[in-house]
Amino acid sequence: MDFRSLGISDELLEGLDAMNIRKPTPIQQQAIPAALEGRDLIACAQTGTGKTAAFLLPLIDVITGYKPKEEGSIRALVVVPTRELALQIDQQMQAIAYFTPITSIPLYGGSDGAGFDQQKQALTGGVEVVIATPGKLMSHLNLGYVPLKGVEFLVLDEADRMMDMGFIDDINRIITFLPKDRQTLMFSATMPPAIRELSKRILHDPVEITIALSKPAEGVDQQAYVIFDMQKAAILEHILNTNEATSIVIFAGRKVEVKNLNRYLQKKGFNARGMHSDLEQSEREEVMLAFRNRRLRILVATDVVSRGIDIDDIDLVINYDVPRDPEDYVHRVGRTARASRKGTAITFVNEKEMREFGRIESLIGYEVKKMPLPEAIGRGPAYAPTARVDRGGNGNGHRRKGGGRRSGSGGRR
């Protein structure tokens, strides 16, 4: 199957050809025809399956195919959880729609007053597609000048992540500004009850699509170090000094840990920068540009980056902690070995995280190989993913002296 057989326009085919995109992915094969028929859609698909193009292609095709109901009105609204994702979708939109006259704008937090005024001017002057984070969109909506009466398409992307980030009230409020006569497309990596309930309220007779969670690519060499928490900083330094990878992402669960790790690595002389929500947008873009251009070797980030960056040539992913959600492990590991390349993913599993890592192994269907610790670092705990863990001890029912304070990274999770 090719894109022409899906029924999209020649202008979009030309854009896809320029991007060297030849064959639709499974989510695109199922979603595009349904969307072109005007059906509402709920799709369970993770990052990396091609879901962005699955909603952009039919959206652009329909918008460029006939005149709007109201001149100067916004015709499509795409709501996303993070500014990184808003920028990424807008960039892909510009590439796909290069040979069409369609206009778009991303709305996200972190901009100064001048940036806000520019967004206001674009919204009131006429833009066809708005890609926005909920908070920033509400800031404009509350001022009363956003023309949403002509919206024909609403897309909620990564709906589960927006729920996790506490945006449900904003989403419900945004929907009150939209016409009831619209087409709604909802995409989510997981389908918890809250998402099901939301879909029942805002979708009409939707087509349901489920793309099974992909296992980590065969090109990923997955490894795990079973260690005590106090050994994490030492094994991290050992890996960074001995591994030849030139593009490395280190994931940590919380932004305070990202900040601590970044300070620690810079103090040790590593070329590292942190990516977290406290950075200004200009700083975030500067960090990402440096990382893409290989001027920055190490990016330390939270899980926001695991779903929000699109870089194909990351050599090494390090999970400084075990993600709470097994599916987040797949997202993190999926940042390497993309586009049929090779890559390595290393996870640190401390005595409190064995059960969570066991759930990950159950999800992906095999055991991740456990690596021996360097002699200088000492012995770690025995791996026992089904054992009941004493949260105050070392996994064997004994407390460590000093309370198990982490070396180097500065504090507990």
List, for residues 373-387, the tens digit of each pLDDT value: 999 999 999 999 875
More confident residue, 247 or 50: 247
Q: What is the mean pLDDT of residues 383-408?
A: 47
Q: What per-residue confidence (pLDDT) applies to 60? A: 94
Per-residue model confidence as pLDDT tens digits over 120-157: 888 888 789 999 999 999 999 999 999 888 899 999 99
Give the C-alpha separation, 351 to 354, whole Å: 6
Contact 206, 155 (CB under 8 A): no
- The strand pair at 129-132 and 220-226 is best described as unpaired
The yes-or-no verdict on residue 226 having pLDDT over 50 is yes
Of 18-22, 59-63, 197-201, 345-349, the range with the lowest mean pLDDT is 18-22
Q: In what order do the strands lie in the sheet with 104-107?
A: 104-107, 129-132, 76-79, 153-156, 183-188, 41-44, 207-210
Residue 391 has a pLDDT of 39
| Position 115 confidence tier, pLDDT thresholds 50, 70, 90 | confident
pLDDT-derived band at 408, boundaries 50, 70, 90 = very low
The fourth-level CATH superfamily of domain 4-210 is: P-loop containing nucleotide triphosphate hydrolases (3.40.50.300)
How far apart CA 264 and CA 240 sit, in angstroms, is 13
Q: How far apart are CA 152 and CA 66, in angstroms?
A: 12
The pLDDT score that the predictor gives to residue 306 is 55
C-alpha 273/C-alpha 287 separation (Å) is 7
- Cβ partners under 8 Å of residue 249, min gap 6: 298, 299, 300, 301, 305, 314, 316, 317, 318, 335, 336
Count of alpha carbons within 13 angstroms of residue 193, beta-carbon side: 0
CATH 3.40.50.300 occupies which residues in the chain?
Answer: 4-210, 220-404
For 243-260, how does the pLDDT look when each residue is reduced to its tens digit (9 = 90+)? 999 999 999 988 899 999
Distance CA 354, CA 396 (A): 12
Class of domain 220-404: alpha beta
What pTM does this model have?
A: 0.66
